[in-house]
Structure 1
């Protein structure tokens, strides 16, 4: 079964003296993820929520093998990020604002390049998939424009298309609608629904709560590196009287910080 399992993930980072001064702390280590566990299933969109610094992006970077867990493990379709990282890379499509496309290449060139990098040698397959994704995201007329000359939104759309060149079973997107106008963001969320209907396993991290409410089948809320609650939105809110997700999230963060 193509599940994605995060098992007791712990990841820490050293805090430099400069950062200690900025954050006004004497702590020398930042615990980004602290025993984090959850499972995402095929045919669902799993949303990760949390305030800045909660550990969302660290978790996604660990899933994508960009960083290694200090403790615990992550299994992507049965492959461990610790011992089978190459297998994991072949199974996932990963999008993050931290990874930029090279400015002096075109979307057309980069799509072909990354397709071949993922082992797709059939040019007909590459061109068919390129035409499909470029049409969906409105990239076709900009396919020969250098990335450095594209708008922020078009760069984001090109990044999404290129992250999907190999038709991955697992989609890991960090803030997929970041920098997009309303119509283009809707285009992206509609395509994520289509991927879900194809049986893909999808994890998204976003700060836009309306996207979570409309798109996600289940939600995991992370605060201070720990999973505070993980369930369907209906189950999370069923005993919350007239609260919506924003109200619940705000109260949960305040409670954790001791300000409620």
Structure 2
């Protein structure tokens, strides 16, 4: 079933999840999840173990039916028209196996045939295109059993691209990759997004997603906690705290005393010529703080901030699980 397009001025979401619920007996894996992802995004899905990521992906890729809800991929209703949905979506599971007794080129040509991609010359041309897209052309004659972890991931991604899916679902695609392989994968995904394809990535490593994604969402216990850009997710999770280091030329003790009286400042300490403190205010309040230091005659050499890392945010989410258990 194909869903009618929205008005011309409103782009149709590439991924449209509505009130999705997945139950395993009495256990709720996905709890009324609603999410829209526009085309051309590299969109991340992150959360601790048990957040509902795998169940969400299994529904999106037609591998299981939900308890209820709707999933629309590029205008196709996944639950009403499975065959059309499978032509729209490309799925790369974590640790996808490759047959060791085939060469890389043979492996990709086999899948091109399975997808029914035209004549033999057309299939081979498409295989070459996909190998070039993920930079594995030099591996064509290499046996699959000889591939490194990073090479295997890129070959499987090439296979996932063969039928030109408009939505790619990638489960932990950078798991176990070295920094160079992660960079190559990141660049390949960004090139795909520029063609209008939408990439939906699951990972439990937030820093990994921060490098790869244009937007992301955070799930916990089956529920959506936050969605948007990196900074929007921080705001929605209430994680705007930062550590600020003010480097001064003189009057460090006086500056520390002045700062300590500010309501958003806490855990202040002096480290040589620097005053280091936690800050829970807004960006405007931070700017006011810096202006106030200058107005009071303190000579600032530098004013630097460090926000909570994504790993810190995920740790907070996981710890809230334990506290509420």
Q: Provide the TM-score with structure 1 as the length reference.
A: 0.86
How many equivalent residue pairs?
246
> Could you list the per-position Cα deviations for residues 11-64 of structure 1 after superposition, in whole angstroms to 9, with x for gaps in the alignment?
1235xxxxxxxxxxxxxx432212122111101111100011211111111101
Q: Which of residues 193, 206, 226 in structure 2 aligns to 1:229?
A: 226
Q: Which of residues 177, 188, 191 in structure 2 aligns to 1:180?
A: 177
Q: CA deviation at 1:6?
A: 1.3
Unaligned runs of 5+ in 1: 15-28
Contact between 2:39 and 2:197, CA under 8 Å: does it hold in 1?
A: yes
Q: CA deviation at 1:144?
A: 3.1
Aligned to 1:3: 14
Aligned to 1:257: 322
**Is 1:13 aligned to residue 24 of structure 2?**
yes
Aligned to 1:244: 309
User: Which protein has greater RCO, CA pairs closer than 8 Å, 6+ apart?
Assistant: 1
**Is 1:54 aligned to residue 45 of structure 2?**
no
Aligned to 1:19: none
Which deviates the most, 198-207 or 114-123? 114-123
Q: How does 1:129-148 map to 2 (within 5 A)?
A: 129-148=126-145
Q: CA deviation at 1:210?
A: 1.9
CA distance in structure 2 between the aligned counterparts of 1:132 and 1:78, rounded to whole angstroms = 26
Contact between 1:45 and 1:203, CA under 8 Å: does it hold in 2?
A: yes
**Is 1:149 aligned to residue 214 of structure 2?**
no
Contact between 1:49 and 1:207, CA under 8 Å: does it hold in 2?
A: yes
Q: CA deviation at 1:216?
A: 1.6
Contact between 1:156 and 1:179, CA under 8 Å: does it hold in 2?
A: no
Contact between 1:40 and 1:202, CA under 8 Å: does it hold in 2?
A: no
Q: CA deviation at 1:256?
A: 4.1
Contact between 2:44 and 2:203, CA under 8 Å: does it hold in 1?
A: yes
Q: How does 1:211-230 map to 2 (within 5 A)?
A: 211-230=208-227
SS of 2:177 mapped into structure 1:
coil
> Could you list the per-position Cα deviations for residues 110-168 of structure 1 after superposition, in whole angstroms to 9, with x for gaps in the alignment?
21122222231143433233223324444334323332333322222211110111121
Aligned to 1:128: 125
Aligned to 1:23: none
Q: How does 1:30-179 map to 2 (within 5 A)?
A: 30-97=27-94, 99-179=96-176
SS of 2:32 mapped into structure 1:
strand
Q: CA deviation at 1:204?
A: 0.4
Aligned to 1:22: none
Q: Provide the TM-score with structure 2 as the length reference.
A: 0.70
CA RMSD of aligned residues (A): 2.2
CA distance in structure 2 between the aligned counterparts of 1:245 and 1:153, rounded to whole angstroms = 24
**Is 1:191 aligned to residue 185 of structure 2?**
no
SS of 1:258 mapped into structure 2:
helix
> Could you list the per-position Cα deviations for residues 66-92 of structure 1 after superposition, in whole angstroms to 9, with x for gaps in the alignment?
111121121111212211111011011
Instruction: Call closer, same or farther: CA 1:2–1:91 in 2, change over 3 Å.
Output: farther
CA distance in structure 2 between the aligned counterparts of 1:66 and 1:192, rounded to whole angstroms = 24
Unaligned runs of 5+ in 2: 1-11, 243-307
